[in-house]
Structure 1
Amino acid sequence: MQPRPVRLVPQLVPQLVPDAASHVAPATAAPIAMGSHGSSMAPRMVMGSMGLVSAAVACRKHRKLSGIRSVNANLTRCRAEGEADPLLAEAKAAAEAAKLQLEAAKLRAEADELRKATATAQRKERAVRILGSDEVMGIGLPELMARLQEEGTELTGEQGLALAQAMGFQEEPYFFRLEDLASEAFDKKLSAIQAENVKARQAEAKKREEERANQAANAANAASSTTVSPEMGEVVNDDRSLGPRLTGSLAYILPLTEAFKFMLPLVQQFHPLGVIFGPITLLTVLLNTIPFIPLILFVTFIIFAQVKDIPRLVRFNLEQAVLIDMALTLPSFILSTLEFSGNLEVASILGGLTFALTFGISVYAVLCNLDGKDPDGVPLISNVTKNVVDRGTFFDPPKEDNK
């Protein structure tokens, strides 16, 4: 009896290669069945061997696929664990921050390069503007200072020498070429000089403001002191005896003699006017014969009007006479213009009216003085006179002071 080894193959294969049983069973079933019906042993052995080889290959493929699946699962698990790990997340954040810092450093470097290029271009443009053209060889120090002044930067002699020394020039003549004017050293020194000039102007402006503030404070103190001086019991010389009355009346000689000059054309035409105003005519001739007498009287009246020891009535009349004399400047200018243009008749009429007005004011003031009263009825001029005599200012006090 022959052995039957082939029939054991389907039973051994699942035991040897369990994972390949499902792949081998269909392939080996048919050959085994054929061998059981009388086929020769060799074909059955060959078919059995082929089944074993196929089973082994299938097993290897299955194991390889299983290994790949396990590796992918491990990688997925590692990634998930890494994302959940705070240390790993912190390391990733640090790496991103370092990357951003590197990019920022690159941007800063590019910005610095762009800034330097812009500054260089601006320096060269200014140098060409100072020279007038890039074809000019250079420029001397005096001409450079003049060109810079046109640019808005005024240099003193010392600053000009300092600028030349900053460029390395030791002795004259100082000659600035295009390269020198466009250099960084020139720009740095010029910027320093400009900063010094700005500080000096600011200090000077601050000093002027302080001086104005001090003057305003002094004026306010003086005004307040003169305003409250009567309440504080300050003694004011208000002597209105005959002497101060006559002295105050004589103060109007100054404006009368000044206004009588406008009357001379009419006096020459109408001689009786010279007889009527004989004393005034004589005083006018005497005052104009001696040089500078009217000017000396004018200054003397101003000085005495500020002396507090002089009676107030006298000071009031002196100040008012000065203001009337100053007011005659305007008609004098108008009459001179008319005479120059040939309108002599109009000039004579206006001159007579001016003298008549001045004469009327003087008569009014003399009458008030003889009566012992202040001649404060002259429009505008009397108000200014009060402010000057009582407060030392030409303007009215604020409303709060009046209250």
Structure 2
Amino acid sequence: MTKIMHLLAACALLWGFSSCSKVEYTEIEKPAYLRVFNDLNLKIGLENKDEDRPYLCMLIDPEINKDGVPVSAALKGDYLDQRDPYAPPYPSHIGSSTRKNNPEYPGKENVLVGPVLNGFDLSGWAQVPSGKHRVVFYYRPMNDIPFFDLEPAVRSKKVVDTVIDLGVQEVYTMHVLQSNFVTQEKGIVLRTENFHKLPLSDSLVYINFYNYSADGFWQADINLKKNQYTSGVMQYGVRDEMNIWLSLCKPGGVKTIPGYRFAYLGQLRRNTGNQVSPYYSFPLFADSASNHIVTDIWQRITLLAPGIDPEQNPYPDYYAVTDGGYGLVACYGNGSPQDFQRGALYLPGMIVNIHSGNYNPRSFATVNTIEIVNGNAYLTTIQRKYAPPVY
């Protein structure tokens, strides 16, 4: 029985009790695929208590009345909250009858999403018409009122107003962010992804890095920055140029896999342009003791200013480093902090372990992106299609 038949059967059973809720979708010809994150992780305190909270509504091709107030739009992404630390490889935010507090777009929006494209699951991306579009982000209050039902004066506070050009079946990731920490100027990054066009191996885990921090953030006085203790030594930012070192470890401590202790990957430079960063890789089954069905290794990423040897790191990792010379990310389990790795910012592991075929679990390689924004780091994981479980 297909998913559609299941849905019709469920509606028939419920007909005597209530009407079957239906969402009408309009087919999009020649779509592009768009995913949007709100990266405005700003500190709101006594010194800037009157500043608008970074809670947004995105309008694509808005209709503006004579008073400069938006009254409708071709597409709307409402209740766009600050992003979550982890964007998983499946739509995890669907289903809420109350205020949505969307950690991304499409997130909880009932819109057409992307297909499996060249083996990659694009269900985290929304389908949007290709071509040129005006995109405007507005501040909105943190309440349950839909954007166009707000008072005109309330729905007129623009954050960013720009024009984008989307190619047919291209995959885009958009970020709304602070481009300058001193002037508080806001902007967007529209990145054209290329992971679905590359000859990537199923036996390798891929990762690339971006530093989208605002210009002047790491140099600014620490009292002007948001206290982010969960970011560990990276909470006050990293320098505009850092070296990336990867260690692959076994659970229960920092026991590295032979050959993967501080493996040099490359350089990370602060850049708020639209360029795509190169992917680095490591073997899915780097642990020679694994059975090549499931693995439990985790990933430790060390960021150090150029010229610093990771084996002779001068920074203790148990207090906040304020000069931007050190950052530490531990991709471990589900992202819960562990006592053995002090000073780290914790994110979930990059290897997906899931019931597939006759194996429960089975390990799968993924494609990952880590983005650093003003003392925080975020992980997006993309997964290939895998065999369904056999029960």
Normalized per residue, which structure has more helix? 1
Q: Which has the higher strand share?
A: 2
When Rg is computed on C-alpha atoms for both structures, the one with the higher figure is: 1
**TM-score (norm: length of structure 2):** 0.18
